[in-house]
């Protein structure tokens, strides 16, 4: 894609993400009466496969998101970001409405659940209120109204990662709507190290004034607190399942069929990444479709310093094992050039 086309592609992506702001009706109209049935929330950490899974589900003709339906299945899909202006801090707080912190500046992707910030973001069913529920249902109703026309039963799908620490809260706000929650995990050793090295946007910025050791500590805290929140909340919701990103890459048809059986969506092979698929204009991360790469963890696990493996294991071992992962077999010394 040449530079002009790249600029146009990004501009169209931003237009699709933000054009709702131009219509005053979207702020003040009452969408609370729109039927919300079985919304699906994908939970997990940034970089752990939520984008891929979200795109698979959004190719389903019965699914809508905050920026489109199966006709535009690769746009922004995090209501916490797209509708931050109307959702309020309890349901967003990643960018504009983010709690202030001298060191951990927004936007946040791998720091909102660190020890210094988790209390600012954590909400449970006990925090649910009618006023906050109205805001959430307003936004979901708006998305369904915009993109669910001519659908018999539109299903809303979202992957706001911050909701990972708010699962029972979201469930309580959507009482009577039968929400579904799908927690996507990735090998924590690879995931934490990947984020700390700068694949997470906030960690890349923090590298200007934080060492890799310091960033790794923050990412471990974020991962562990997120895992604890999911474990605590999973018993409070009716519809919960977890899956491994690695299994989605290795057996996409089997995993997506399982998700469809769980949520009541109709499975189609067209939900699977295929070489003939035309990627929609206005799409970020075009590489996150076809072909699927099963080796995504290798570069991190092979190059990870031994002391970092020890640190992650000592801090997170219990929850790593609960998610079905083990300690990496290959152990390496610190590589030259890693800072």
Chain segment 116-142, per-residue pLDDT in tens: 999 999 999 999 999 999 999 999 999
Task: Look up the pTM and report it.
Answer: 0.94
Asked if residue 333 is part of any domain, the answer here is no
Mind listing the pLDDT tens digit for each residue in 67-91? 999 999 999 999 999 999 999 999 9
Asked whether residue 327 is domain-assigned, the answer is: no
Domain that holds residue 110: 3-322
Residue 339: pLDDT band by 50, 70, 90 thresholds?
very low
276 occurs within a structural domain: yes
Closest by CA position to 135, among listed 69, 91, 193, 74: 91
**Which pLDDT score, from 0 to 100, does residue 1 have?**
64
Place of tokens 């909340």: 233
Domain-embedded: residue 328? no
Strand 180-185 and strand 155-158: the pairing is unpaired
Dihedral angle sign, alpha carbons of residues 60, 61, 62, 63: positive
Instruction: Output the pLDDT for position 338.
Output: 38
Contacts of 85 (CB under 8 A, 6+ apart): 21, 96
Task: Give the CATH number for residue 188.
Answer: 3.40.50.300
Specify the pLDDT at position 235: 97
The whole-angstrom separation of Cα 9 and Cα 3 is 10
Residue 125 resides in a domain? yes
How far, CA to CA in Å, does 94 sit from each of 9, 84, 109, 216?
24, 9, 8, 20
Dump pLDDT digits (tens) for 250-275.
Answer: 999 999 999 999 999 999 999 999 99
**What is the secondary structure of 259-297 as a DSSP string?**
HHHHHTPPP-GGGS--TTPPPPSS-S-TTSSSS--TTTT
Residues in the chain: 339
pLDDT of residue 337: 37
pLDDT of residue 334: 39
Specify if 138 maps to a domain: yes
At 335, the pLDDT band (50, 70, 90 cuts) reads very low
Confidence bin at 245 (pLDDT 50/70/90): very high
Residue listed under structure tokens 């307003």: 138
pLDDT of residue 242: 99
Q: Is residue 130 part of a domain?
A: yes
Q: Strand pairing partners for 255?
A: none
State the DSSP H helix or E strand holding residue 81, giving kind and residue range, or none if neither.
helix 79-82
pLDDT band with cut points at 50, 70 and 90 for residue 205 = very high
Tokens of 36: 């919300």
Q: In this predicted structure, which of 92-101, 109-118, 238-247, 309-318 has the lowest mean pLDDT?
A: 92-101
Neighbouring residues of 175: CB distance < 8 A, sequence distance ≥ 6: 128, 133
Name the 3-class secondary structure at 243: strand
Q: Which helix (H) or strand (E) holds 42?
A: strand 40-43
How much of the chain exceeds pLDDT 70, in percent? 97
Q: Answer yes or no: is 86 within a domain.
A: yes
* Mean pLDDT on 274-302: 89
| Number of domains into which the chain is organized | 1
pLDDT at residue 186 tops 60: yes
Q: What is the rounded distance in angstroms from the CA atom of residue 70 to the CA atom of residue 290? A: 17
- The answer to whether the peptide bond before residue 107 is cis (omega within 30 degrees of 0) is yes
Report whether pLDDT(290) > 80.
yes
Q: Is the pLDDT of residue 28 over 90?
A: no
- pLDDT, mean of residues 287-309: 94
């Amino acid at each position: 894609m040449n530079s002009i086309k790249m600029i146009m592609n990004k501009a169209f992506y931003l237009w699709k993400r933000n054009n709702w702001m131009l219509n005053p009706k979207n702020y003040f109209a009452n969408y609370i009466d729109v039927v919300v049935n079985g919304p699906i929330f994908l939970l997990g950490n940034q970089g752990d496969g939520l984008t891929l899974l979200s795109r698979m589900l959004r190719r389903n003709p019965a699914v809508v998101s905050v920026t489109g339906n199966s006709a535009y299945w690769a746009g922004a899909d995090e209501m916490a970001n797209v509708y931050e202006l109307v959702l309020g801090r309890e349901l967003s707080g990643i960018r504009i409405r983010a709690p202030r912190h001298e060191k951990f500046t927004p936007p946040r992707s791998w720091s909102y659940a660190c020890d210094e910030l988790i209390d600012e973001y954590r909400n449970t069913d006990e925090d649910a209120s009618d006023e906050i529920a109205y805001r959430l249902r307003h936004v979901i109703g708006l998305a369904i109204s915009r993109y669910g026309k001519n659908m018999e039963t539109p299903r809303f799908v979202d992957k706001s990662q911050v909701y990972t620490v708010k699962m029972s809260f979201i469930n309580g706000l959507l009482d009577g709507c039968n929400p579904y929650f799908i927690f996507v995990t990735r090998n924590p050793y690879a995931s934490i190290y990947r984020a700390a090295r700068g694949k997470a946007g906030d960690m890349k910025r923090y590298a200007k004034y934080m060492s890799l050791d310091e960033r790794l500590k923050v990412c471990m805290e974020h991962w562990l607190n997120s895992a604890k929140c999911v474990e605590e909340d999973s018993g409070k919701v009716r519809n919960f399942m977890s899956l491994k990103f690695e299994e989605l890459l290795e057996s996409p048809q089997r995993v997506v069929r399982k998700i469809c059986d769980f949520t009541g969506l109709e499975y189609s092979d067209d939900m699977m990444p295929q070489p003939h698929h035309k990627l929609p204009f206005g799409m970020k991360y075009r590489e996150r479709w076809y072909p699927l790469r099963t080796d995504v963890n290798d570069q991190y696990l092979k190059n990870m310093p031994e002391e970092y493996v020890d640190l992650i294991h000592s801090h997170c071992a219990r929850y790593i094992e609960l998610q079905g992962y083990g300690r990496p077999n290959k152990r390496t010394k610190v590589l030259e050039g890693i800072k």
